[in-house]
Chains A and B, each alone.
Chain A
Amino acid sequence: MENILEVNDLHVSFKTHRGEVKAVRGVNLTLKKGEALAIVGESGSGKSVTTKAIMGLLPKPAGRVKSGEVLFNERDLTKLSDKQMQKLRGSEISMIFQDPMTSLNPTMTIGKQIMEGIRRHQNLSKADAKKRAIELLELVGIPNPEERVKQYPHQFSGGMRQRVVIAIALACNPKVLIADEPTTALDVTIQAQILDLMKDLQKKTNTSIVLITHDLGVVANMAQRVAVMYGGKVIETGTVDEIFYEPKHPYTWGLLSSMPRVDSKNSELLAIPGTPPDLSNPPKGCPFAARCPHAMKVCTEFMPDYSDVSDTHKTACWLQDERSPKVEPPETIQVGGDR
């Protein structure tokens, strides 16, 4: 399968009054057609910044892509002008945001907010655009769409608003959909509904999805592949099975152990001790070295290269080097046998 989206060695920095914050430091990602890629990682690891850079939505003028490329259908998006990027946004690549309570304009009707993108990207009359908006509301499971298009966001519940946000994102049949924690702000039953909806729509439209989440259950449910980010870098990437059952990076181990498990006898949550690195002054070596129980001298000095565990599984960790001691993952995540 060919890659619809490819991020190569992306660096993004923010200028702040305390100096340059290197939020993303050499990220590589690939997204295949029709696939769902999950990005996981601690708060502040650069997940949102990476996707905003892909969308060309970095806050200006503070945020800037310093180097690297974002290839969408072989076109480098970082080289496009604002106008060219506008053409792509909402039509080829769309985004769903975390908080449906704040991501809709409170003074504009739902219908207008959906139609805006349609009218911009497709040559539809006002009446046809409205018809399409009603269709979309129906598609995302909002009852009474003819009435609902005339209403304002405050007349919708959180879950309904997130459905509207999804309708806006899907309005022009995008090839790539980026969802930044689309269910974090919703309560559990609604979360499941929204995820089912996204899955269902993905099947129907064959859209490729980049999904940011903190919930490994969501990853297992939605994604085929996972990228684990830490300190502005992707430190491990692989298929869902590979990451869940044969994780290689000590940070991934920590992440998996910190997840509540229903089947575990040992219900204790294992938090990773320590704090993430200061990105205005990032460490020379592996960003996780300071918190890593297996850190060696080399880890604090040099960033390891990616090593291939399999064709689809890569990790950047010195433990993969043949000169390193053999370290077994902690017992809390040794589930390799019972998959």
Chain B
Amino acid sequence: MARYIAKRIVYMIITFLVVITFTFLTMKLMPGTPFKNQNRISPEQLAQLKHYYGLDQPVPIQYLHYIGNALHGDLGGSFQFGMRPVTTILAEKAPVSFDLGFEAVIIGAIFGILLGVIAGLRRGTILDYGTMFISVLGISIPSFVLAVFMQYFFGVKWQLLPLAYWKGPEYHIMPVIALAVGVVANVARFMRTEMVEVVNQDYITTARAKGISSFNVIFKHSVRNALIPVITILGPLTAAIVTGSLVIENIFAIPGIGSQFVDSIVTNDYPMIMGTTELYSALLIIMIFIVDILYGVIDPRIRLAGGE
């Protein structure tokens, strides 16, 4: 097991380096410069500015320079924010986005699993069709439509919840729901399929033949096995939600990293783009790692195969 984890960590680092390299290269291929008033400054001034920021050097040198600094924890300064360190900006804004994203994923996964279990156990009944109908709705309605809809009713019309900002628990309700609905829908559909599959397995009949209660047959035998494949989608789903929350952040004026990221790309704020990409890819890589470990905890066949 320890060897397996060590091996995985090495792979994670390699993956991460590949991502950084590609981001760096594609960024250099993007048109334009980071300087807003590009059209009005003279070529000499531009050259001077480029020299000042080290952008006149060959790309490989810039790359090595960047990696060298990054190893010391220095991701450079943001061009948009008067060279404020990227790490400081990320440290300030990322927790908000992660909060929002993880809350949505956890709540979404719990409800998705519950609905999927119910639909799978009651296959072919109104309960099943109802759940799957809601789930299709959840997948097809974009989160921002739901967000605006909720804002109108709960924020404006009935004034039950705060319209925007991120100041306390009640501020979380609408944005988290807006993001979680998609998760619920995805997880529920997946879970239902797995449950339907699992309840027809021979070992469920064996469990029933032992005379144990239906509750135990469902939760100790069926759900646990049905969860194994469902867990695999949770990793990428979490990353997608955390990184994809920018629209919701904008709608609710949440001071997260998502809207920041868009601005960085538009303004060619190279250090900020790099920093945010690194954060996101680190998150995705770590999530996939955690899921694999979890997978091993739930499925003993994987655990042992990995140890060999």
Contacts and interface: CB of A to CB of B under 8 A. Distances in A.
Contacts of B300: 106-107, 152, 154
B203 A104 contact: yes
A103 B203 contact: yes
Nearest to B206: A103
Given A86-B213, A102-B201, A154-B300, A107 B224 contact: yes
B212 A120 contact: yes
Contacts of B225: 105-107
Interface string A144-175: 00000000101100000000010011010000
Contact of A91 (B201, B211, B214, B301): B211
Interface residues of B, number: 25
Contact of A104 (B200, B206, B214): B206
Contacts of A82: 214
B211 A99 contact: no
A116 B209 CA distance: 11
Nearest to B199: A59
Given A105-B203, A106-B203, A152-B301, A89 B208 contact: yes
Contacts of A152: 300-301, 304
B203 A102 contact: yes
A241 to B, nearest CB: 32
A152 B302 CA distance: 12
B206 to A, nearest CB: 5
Q: Size range of the interface on A? A: 20 to 34
Contact of A154 (B200, B224, B301): B301
B299 interface: yes
Given A105-B225, A152-B300, A152-B301, A97 B212 contact: no
B214 A105 contact: no
A63 to B, nearest CB: 12
- Most chain A beta-carbon contacts within 10 A, residue among B216, B221, B300: B300
Interface string B149-192: 00000000000000000000000000000000000000000000
Interface of A: 55, 57, 59, 82, 85-91, 94-95, 97, 99, 102-108, 113, 116-117, 120-121, 152, 154-155, 165, 168-169, 171
8 contacts: A89-B210, A97-B202, A97-B205, A106-B225, A116-B220, A154-B301, A168-B210, A171-B210
Interface of B: 200-203, 205-214, 216, 220-221, 224-225, 228, 298-301, 304
